[in-house]
């Protein structure tokens, strides 16, 4: 297979959720390096605006709470008005609250499920007709190794990520023949992440003690650089349209 058969990112528009920091920001950087344009989505207005400014004119921030379907619709319309199209959607946004299921706070539980499961669905729902109008596209759903090994107090997070993998299987059937690929990147531990930034210190200490005692980190292996993960997503999108990747599990060697 010649290199010419691979797709080019140049000129394509990627929508990346959870884009203000960590892996999401690295994904945006990787797309822009290849000549793409990026719509950054996050709830965090300040960090998101700063990230977009650092990335330059190929990037624009769209402050969005993806758990709000009306907000997702507004942002997708604004993205099309600004960039003209959507070619790639990377569902990267995620949050997890350290809670036992029997003790789960109603508001935190709803926020977790809405962000990790409904949010990607809302984004996918809005992106599909835009990709269809372009003659095809790529949806990349980021999940976690926790679908196979749920970490302590993060059972609901793991369940939502498992649901995203099942959703991806169903979407492939729904979109068959539409030239819209649906891929899952199942990530191991990342060397850079804001996932745990809001965890209460007392519960964080309890979590760490259990994880270390029961060998979760040993099973996960060393953290992987988010730059490597981000480049893997770009490479996945660049595959010839005759190929697709259903599931890529990526971790440090």
Catalytic annotation present for 151: no
176: left (phi over 0), alpha (psi -120 to 50) or beta: beta
Decide the pairing of beta strands 37-42 and 137-144.
unpaired
Query: Residue 225: which H helix or E strand, with range?
Result: none
| From 151, 157, 207, 216, active-site residue | 157
DSSP calls for 102-161: GG--HHHHHHHHIIIIIHHHHHHHHHHHHHHHHT-EEEEEEEEGGGTSPPTT-HHHHHHH
How far apart, in whole angstroms, are the C-alpha atoms of residue 57 and residue 81?
Answer: 15
Instruction: Give the bridge partners for 247, in sequence order.
Output: 184
Tokens of 3: 């290199």
Residue of 117, 122, 71 whose CA lies nearest to 96: 117
Exposed / middle / buried, residue 156 (Cβ in 10 Å: 0-12, 13-18, 19+): buried
Residues serving a catalytic function are 157
């Amino acid at each position: 297979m010649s290199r010419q058969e691979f797709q080019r990112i140049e000129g394509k528009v990627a929508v990346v959720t959870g884009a203000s920091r960590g892996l999401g920001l690295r994904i945006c950087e990787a797309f822009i390096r290849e000549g793409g344009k990026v719509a950054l989505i996050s709830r965090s207005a300040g960090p998101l605006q700063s990230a977009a400014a650092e990335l330059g004119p190929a990037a624009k921030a769209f402050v969005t709470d993806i758990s709000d379907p009306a907000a997702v619709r507004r942002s997708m319309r604004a993205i099309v008005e600004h960039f003209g199209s959507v070619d790639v959607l990377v569902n990267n946004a995620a949050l997890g609250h350290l809670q036992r299921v029997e003790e789960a706070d109603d508001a935190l539980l709803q926020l977790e499920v809405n962000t990790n499961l409904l949010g990607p669905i809302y984004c996918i729902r809005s992106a599909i007709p835009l990709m269809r109008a372009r003659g095809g596209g790529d949806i990349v759903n980021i999940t976690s190794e926790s679908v196979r090994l749920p970490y302590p107090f993060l059972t609901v997070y793991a369940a939502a990520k498992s649901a995203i993998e099942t959703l991806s299987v169903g979407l492939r059937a729904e979109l068959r023949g539409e030239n819209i690929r649906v891929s899952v990147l199942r990530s191991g531990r990342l060397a850079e992440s804001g996932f745990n930034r809001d965890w209460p210190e007392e519960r964080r200490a309890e979590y760490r003690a259990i994880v270390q005692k029961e060998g979760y980190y040993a099973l996960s292996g060393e953290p992987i650089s988010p730059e490597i993960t981000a480049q893997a997503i770009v490479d996945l999108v660049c595959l010839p349209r005759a190929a697709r990747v259903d599931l890529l599990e990526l971790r440090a060697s």
